[in-house]
Structure 1
Amino acid sequence: MFFNDPYNINGYQYVNNPYYMQPRGPYNRYYYDYYNRQQPIRGQATWTEGGQETKCGIPWSQNRYMTAAVGKNSPYECRQTIKVRNPQTGRELLLTVVDEVSGYPQNKINLHRRAFEALGANTAQGVIDVEIIANPELEQQKWGKYLLELTQLAYPDYNIREYNFIRETQVSPTQTQETYEYTLQSQQERIKVRGNVVYNPNTDRIVSFDISEV
């Protein structure tokens, strides 16, 4: 696991990380404008236990099983993070798209059973009404998504419900710091975790990062 590698210092501190993240290519302008409206799409969600293979090549166990499959003609893409809300319970989650479902319309998704239950739904219901919100800020801010994944590893008994970009600071010509805040929910409590990542904007390599409760 990541936290056992030789670069791990003081729990979640990571220094001189050789890990390199390829920058994402520009998004199709039509989809960017569509997503940027941040309007929830009303639809339905079913559930599944998942399978060993997916169309995206990503296991259903990704993101602690907080995963979903979308219709073939859906605007959501593999690896994209979407926010799904159950209006009956008020619970919402950040889910990762890992698969496609044949015959599903754009506003219908198939959730892993654990995600379905985390939304406060009973599997006996089979189908529930949901609101789906794409998360373009998270998709474009790759370091925020990187810290989100590390936060999920650090807090395995919590689900991440909210994500916010706080600020960007120019530390030096070769170091930029970005700060993000995440709202986590367990069965007992809700907490906030703040993450900082310092990287070299010229090489796109991480210098250090830390996460802590606030």
Structure 2
Amino acid sequence: MTSTELGANCVGVSRSYRVDGHVVPALVDVDMCAPAGTITAVVGPSGSGKSTLLRLLTGMDSPDHGTITIAGQEVGTLSTASRARLRRSRLGLVRQAPGDNLLAYLTVRQHLRLAAQIRGVPVALADALLEPLGIADRADRLPRQLSGGEQQRVAIAFAAVGPPAVLLADEPTGQLDHGNVDAVVDALRVIARAGVAVIAATHDPAVWQRADRVLRLRAGRVEEAAG
């Protein structure tokens, strides 16, 4: 498969929700191409559809129309069990709040080794992420002993063990100070270079200005696609 086929693709994706008896469109005819080895930033104001798009990409929700493909598999054709296997083996997810991504009682190294166990890959693949993501000297620390930026880099490492085909990040720098943002963006770049399609929903210029592709949403529609 090509880098495009190995990543994530959306074609004509629409999703609406019923609110107080009214149909409210969240996404309308959205096309997106996020090839392997690249960072795609999904940007737009609150309510533009960023979170809905990420949820559809995880397979936790289904579009009303259109197709979503992850690593060559059309998500809409998969059973519930197959979608769960796809999430476990081919998708990584990083949430906005650093603490929401980690278990308080596991060290950094234990987090990565747990990810290796879940994905059924050698532990060596997990340990190999410590150095390039700048967390090797924190390997035996618990989350409470880490800064917010360090926690988020551990979360990225946890999501990237395998590696997955696609890593989804929901506002990965949203709760960090400026001093930690660059390190987190650098970590996303390291993961992309490993052949992962990184897709980040973000308000942060520090993220989208360094992305390979930018998808701008407004009121659920693609306002601009660049890269």
Which TM bucket (shorter chain)?
under 0.3
Q: Which has the higher helix share?
A: 2
Q: Which has the higher strand share?
A: 1
Point out which structure has higher relative CO (alpha carbons under 8 A, 6+ apart): 2
TM-score by length of 1: 0.27
TM-score by length of 2: 0.26
